[in-house]
């Protein structure tokens, strides 16, 4: 229920109503990462700014019984530039009912983030800056 403030508590220097609406600063075209994707945000490049990691699950499985893997990972900066892509997107993927095993996390002790994921039946560590696989397990 809305509450009306007494006139004495209204801030005369408050922003005008127009300033409360979002302002579009730019767009990022994520279609190259394929359909059925999910998004993660994190600093992949080490520049202190957020980047976007798009993760696409593998398709054609019954995910009630079989866990997903990452089919494709694609990284973008907020200016819309693709930084790297690991795997190949599948145009037939329509989403998933379970989690896609990929996360952004710094594990190297160097202050930079890696991407930890399961792809092609193995656990992988990818360099967050380049997408290159640095470890396979």
**pLDDT confidence of residue 60:** 78
Tell me the range of 34-38, 98-102, 111-115 where mean pLDDT is highest.
111-115
Question: What's the number of CA atoms in the CB half-sphere (13 Å) around residue 136?
Answer: 6
Tokens encoding 112: 């930079």
CA distance 43 to 14: 34
Domain boundaries, the chain: 25-136
In terms of pLDDT, which residue wins out, 18 or 129?
129
CA distance 82 to 58: 21
The structure's pTM equals: 0.80
Q: Scan for tokens 């092609």, then name that residue.
A: 120
DSSP 79: T
CA distance 131 to 53: 11
C-alpha distances in Å from residue 81, one per residue of 32, 70, 87: 11, 21, 18
Q: Are strands 70-77 and 122-127 parallel, antiparallel or unpaired?
A: unpaired
Task: Name which of 81-90, 97-106, 115-124 the model is least confident about.
Answer: 97-106
């Amino acid at each position: 229920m809305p509450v009306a403030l007494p006139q004495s508590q209204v801030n005369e220097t408050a922003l005008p109503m127009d300033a409360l609406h979002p302002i579009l600063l730019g767009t990022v075209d994520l279609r190259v990462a394929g359909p059925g994707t999910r998004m993660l945000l994190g600093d992949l490049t080490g520049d202190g700014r957020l980047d976007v990691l798009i993760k696409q699950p593998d398709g054609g499985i019954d995910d009630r019984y079989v866990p997903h893997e990452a089919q494709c990972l694609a990284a973008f900066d907020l200016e819309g530039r693709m930084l790297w892509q690991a795997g190949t997107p599948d145009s037939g993927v329509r989403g998933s009912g379970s989690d896609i095993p990929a996360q952004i996390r710094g594990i190297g002790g160097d202050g930079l983030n890696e991407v930890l994921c399961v792809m092609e039946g193995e656990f992988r560590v990818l360099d967050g800056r380049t997408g290159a696989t640095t470890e396979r397990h």
